[in-house]
Amino acid sequence: MKKNILIVLVIISLFSLYLFSNKTYTAYESEVDDDVTVDIADWKILIDDQNIATATRDINLSNIVWDSEHTDNDKVAPGSKGTVRINIDPTGTEVAIKYHITYTDHTMDPNCILTVTSIYLENDELQKDSINSYSGIITLDEMKDTQVLVINVEWVNDENSDEADSQIGSNGAEPNYLNLEFEAEQYRGE
CA pair distance 182, 188, nearest whole angstrom: 19
Share in percent of the chain as helix, strand, coil (round to 5): 20, 30, 50
The mean pLDDT of the chain is 79
The residue type at 147: Q
Residue among 179, 177, 146 at smallest CA distance from 80: 177
CA pair distance 95, 140, nearest whole angstrom: 6
What pLDDT is attached to residue 111?
A: 81
CA atoms within 13 A on the CB side of 118: 8
pLDDT beyond 90 at 121: yes
C-alpha dihedral (128, 104, 63, 75), degrees to nearest 10 = 130
- What are the structural domains, with CATH classification, of the chain? 46-186 (2.60.120)
pLDDT beyond 80 at 2: no
Q: How many Å is the maximal CA-CA distance in the chain?
A: 126
pLDDT beyond 80 at 72: no
CA pair distance 129, 102, nearest whole angstrom: 9
User: Considering the chain, what percentage of its residues have pLDDT values greater than 70?
Assistant: 68
* pTM, rounded to two decimals: 0.71
What pLDDT is attached to residue 43?
A: 85
Whether the CB-CB separation of 161 and 78 falls below 8 Å is answered with: yes
Determine which of 5-9, 29-33, 129-133 has the lowest per-residue pLDDT on average: 29-33
Average pLDDT over residues 161-173: 60
Strand partners, 173: none
- b/e code 130-165 from CB counts within 10 Å (16+ = b): eebebebebeeeebeeebebebbbbbbeeeebeebb
Q: Which comes out higher in pLDDT, residue 75 or 83?
A: 83
Measured between its terminal Cα atoms, the distance across the chain in Å is 80
User: Considering the chain, what percentage of its residues have pLDDT values greater than 90?
Assistant: 23
Determine which of 36-45, 96-105, 153-162 has the lowest per-residue pLDDT on average: 153-162
